[in-house]
């Protein structure tokens, strides 16, 4: 995972006065290109590392080698979390690596760094064919500051129709969804999400955020994402699949596929979500060798029509 590597690079830099990309690659067992990309990412994110070009050059920590990471400030630690975030699945191993980094910070910064770590959730699955850039959007840092310090903000926002609004919100957390970033916030109308690249202005009010005592960002985002997925693909098709066909279905349908238990004849129950009966029937028509649709009846009727049309044209 990338976060593990970035922390490992920092630990390597603190042990040695200077390292090259080739040395990092050998130490971490990655390609030299990957090592160079990680070193560049650290520097671009604001972590205090710099490169020396030319013969005998390499990468160094500002101020020279250290025995700990106390040279990192909370903002620099947060920069590390953010640069790692969009490409990283937050597995237990990655969380452990971040905790090691947080514990290495000096005491005055540790609380803010821990808040930074808990204010970010990474969901690598994207919605649709998003073309968003991978660079962090304009107001991301201001919004995460508001989350970390627990301050309400006056938020300017432009919706998908291009209509601009302004409202006071209670920032609760930041989520990286594929290449896009979202703010989870409390509002007068309840909990809402806002795409950060649609935020037009952020003005802290100085008033404290009202944060529910049982709020958990990961659980909250999971519920939000599930609801969005249900709205995007409200149709559910029930089917049974031959055991060796589930891998093909995962390739074809991705997150729209749910695999259940085995049936009496050894096949596997599956549920496939979609938006339109006819379109979903068209997707399933080419998988008749592996899948039998059991419901709803209208999808089966569309499959019959597609089959009759194929026979009429090619029979």
Give 295's Cβ-side CA count (13 Å radius). Answer: 3
Write phi, then psi, for 99 (nearest 5 degrees). -60, -40
Structure confidence at residue 71 (pLDDT): 54
Residue 208 lies in a domain: yes
Number of domains making up the chain: 3
The whole model's pTM is what?
0.53
What CATH number is associated with residue 182? 2.30.30.100
- Is residue 286 in a domain? yes
Rounded mean pLDDT, 35-62: 74
User: Does a structural domain hold residue 199?
Assistant: yes
| Domain-embedded: residue 228 | no
At residue 38, the pLDDT reads 83
- Per residue in 57-105, pLDDT (tens digit) is 788 876 554 445 555 555 555 555 555 544 444 455 555 555 555 555 5
Is residue 222 scored above 90 in pLDDT? Answer: no
Q: Write out pLDDT tens, residues 179-206.
A: 778 999 999 988 899 999 999 999 999 9
Q: Sorting pLDDT into bands at 50, 70 and 90, what band is 48? A: low
At 296 the pLDDT is 93
User: Contact 70/106 with Cβ under 8 angstroms?
Assistant: yes
Which CATH number goes with the domain that contains 249?
3.30.70
Same domain, residue pair 98 and 149? no
| Mean model confidence pLDDT for the chain | 78
Q: How many CB atoms lie within 10 A of CB 159?
A: 11
- Is there a domain that residue 134 lies in? no
Look up the domain containing 174 and give its range: 140-215
């Amino acid at each position: 995972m990338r976060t593990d590597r970035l922390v490992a690079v920092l630990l390597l830099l603190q042990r040695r006065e200077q390292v090259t990309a080739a040395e990092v690659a050998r130490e971490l067992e990655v390609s030299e290109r990957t090592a160079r990309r990680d070193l560049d990412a650290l520097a671009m994110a604001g972590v205090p590392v710099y490169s020396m070009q030319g013969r005998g050059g390499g990468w160094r920590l500002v101020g020279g080698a250290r025995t700990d990471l106390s040279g990192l400030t909370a903002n620099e630690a947060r920069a590390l979390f953010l640069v790692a975030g969009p490409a990283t699945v937050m597995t237990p191993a990655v969380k452990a690596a971040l905790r090691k980094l947080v514990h290495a910070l000096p005491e005055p910064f540790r609380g803010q760094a821990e808040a930074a770590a808990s204010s970010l959730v990474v969901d690598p699955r994207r919605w649709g064919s998003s073309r968003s850039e991978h660079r962090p959007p304009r107001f991301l840092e201001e919004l995460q500051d508001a989350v970390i310090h627990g301050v309400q903000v006056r938020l300017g926002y432009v919706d998908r129709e291009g209509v601009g609004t302004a409202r006071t919100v209670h920032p609760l957390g930041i989520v990286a969804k594929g290449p896009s970033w979202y703010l989870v916030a409390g509002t007068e109308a309840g909990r809402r999400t806002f795409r950060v690249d649609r935020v037009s202005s952020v003005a802290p009010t100085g008033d404290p955020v009202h944060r529910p005592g049982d709020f958990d960002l990961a659980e909250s985002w999971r519920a939000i994402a599930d609801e969005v997925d249900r709205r995007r693909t409200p149709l559910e098709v029930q089917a049974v699949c031959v055991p060796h066909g589930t891998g093909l279905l995962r390739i074809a349908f991705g997150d729209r596929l749910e695999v259940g238990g085995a049936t009496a004849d050894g096949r596997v129950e599956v549920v496939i979500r979609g938006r339109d009966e006819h379109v979903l029937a068209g997707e399933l028509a080419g998988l008749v060798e592996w899948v039998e649709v059991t419901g709803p009846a209208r999808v089966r009727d569309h499959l019959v029509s597609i089959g009759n049309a194929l026979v009429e044209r090619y029979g």
